[in-house]
Amino acid sequence: MKIRILLCDDASFIRDLIKRTLRKFLPQSEITEASDGKKAQAILNRQAFDLILSDWEMPGMSGEELLQWVRSDERLSSIPFIMVTSLGGKEHIVRAVQAGVSDYLGKPFTAEELMHKVHKALVKAGKITAPKVEASARGGPFSSLDIFSGKTDIVPGGSVDALTALVKTKESPKLKGTAILHWQQIEYKCMIKSVSIEDLVLVCKRADQHPGVFEEVDLTLSAGNQAGAAMHNVKAYIHSCAAMEKRPDAEFMQMQLRFLELTDEQRHQLSLLIVEQT
């Protein structure tokens, strides 16, 4: 069965990248392109689609305006809509969710991240029967919209070696590097458990004080095995935090953070870190 996808982005190279990925991993897809929101509107008035992938920032009609129009039309309102954008601030996520977005994918992205979002949306809509991307290939353990569902499981001091040993013993993940989290003039030494272009998961030693959900922090990230690979002044906010063990005296905690307003250079550095560590 053909999966009909409308791809809307004013950048032709982004459309080409997404098309190649979809055709490789979803060969039954039939892709129609639009270079802006107005053209997407005209196409949607003529054809039926199983999924819409749209950029946010476009001339004439933005992806947000296209999403609002789609959700207001009874004929189109149930179509899964994935917003693809470099706007990673929580205010943009909130606006997209309020407008009825199905999921949110930050630029730049990997093929695995794109296909995870696409398959999840198509499975939820009943267009395919099972996801094709294994959990280990995802950009991180949480959906970009899990921020609103409260799913998941911080902490200063402690030896990085001790953290590494504990994490390897208890969960055996592939560690991605180290991080220093700066909050209220306190530094928290952490291990990076997973990282994507949208967020990262850190493991830290328990402390008397730690930032709460939605509090903004400043990060220094390092791949750990590359000279000069540290990223400084990375802005993020806390998505969630929880104990790593099911007991009140748990020694270690895990937190997920989402990035805020990455610069072009930081996005580039982060992409290199993700590629290097996957």
Burial category of 267 from C-beta neighbours within 10 Å (exposed 0-12, middle 13-18, buried 19 and up): middle
Band of residue 258 on the pLDDT scale cut at 50, 70, 90? very high
What is residue 80's predicted lDDT score, i.e. its pLDDT? 93
Decide if pLDDT at 143 tops 60. no
Architecture of the structural domain at 160-277 = Beta Barrel (2.40)
Cα–Cα distances in Å, from 13 out to 81, 116, 220? 21, 21, 31
What is the mean predicted confidence (pLDDT) over 117-137?
70
pLDDT at residue 161 in the model: 41
Give just the sign of the alpha carbon dihedral 77, 79, 80, 82: negative
pTM (whole model) above 0.85: no
Terminal-to-terminal C-alpha distance of the chain? 33
Say yes or no to pLDDT of 260 above 80.
Answer: yes
Euclidean distance between CA atoms 37 and 245, whole angstroms: 47
Q: Which phi and psi angles does 82 have, rounded to 5°?
A: -105, 125
Residues in CB range of 78: below 8 A, 6 or more apart: 125
DSSP string, 161-212: HHHHHHHHHHT-----EEEEEEETTEEEEEEEEEE-SSEEEEEEE--S----
CA gap 177, 193 in Å, rounded? 8
**pLDDT over threshold 60, residue 110:** yes
Name the CATH topology of 3-138.
Rossmann fold (3.40.50)
Q: What band does 257 get if pLDDT is binned at 50, 70 and 90? A: very high
Segments of the chain assigned to CATH 2.40.10.220: 160-277
Lowest mean pLDDT across 53-67, 87-101, 187-201:
87-101
Per residue in 51-70, pLDDT (tens digit) is 999 988 888 888 889 999 99
In this structure, are residues 37 and 59 in contact, taking their beta carbons and an 8 Å threshold? no
Query: Per-residue pLDDT averaged across 225-252, rounded?
Result: 80
- The residue assigned the tokens 């055996």 is 172
pLDDT over 70 at 188, yes or no: yes
Task: Give the C-alpha separation, 106 to 144, whole Å.
Answer: 9
Q: Express each pLDDT in 9-28 by its tens digit.
A: 988 888 888 999 999 888 99
